[in-house]
Amino acid sequence: MSKPRGGNNTFSGLELDDLLVAKDAEARCGMMAIDLTTGAIVHWLRFEGIVTELYDVQVIPGVQKPMALGFQTDEIAKLITLEL
């Protein structure tokens, strides 16, 4: 999900603008993991602050338990390896 670009007329006047106003909601920037068999949102992550747009989304076939890794613990060192 991306927030609309401020001051850019390319993305203004979309039906989404009216839907957000009707629901008294605001646009958000983030990601959702969606179960494609049910359409249910199974997990979400919201970005706040300077990040307002996402440019790329990847589908990871066969993954059953995706997770985001933080930098506050050592789990990232255990789960990610890089070939040198």
- pLDDT for the residue 23: 94
pLDDT at 24: 95
Nearest to 32 by CA among 54, 61, 4: 54
H helix or E strand, kind and range, residue 18: helix 15-22
Tokens at residue 55, please?
Answer: 């440019």
pLDDT digits (tens, 9 = 90+) for 33-78: 888 899 999 988 888 888 888 887 777 788 887 777 667 777 766 7
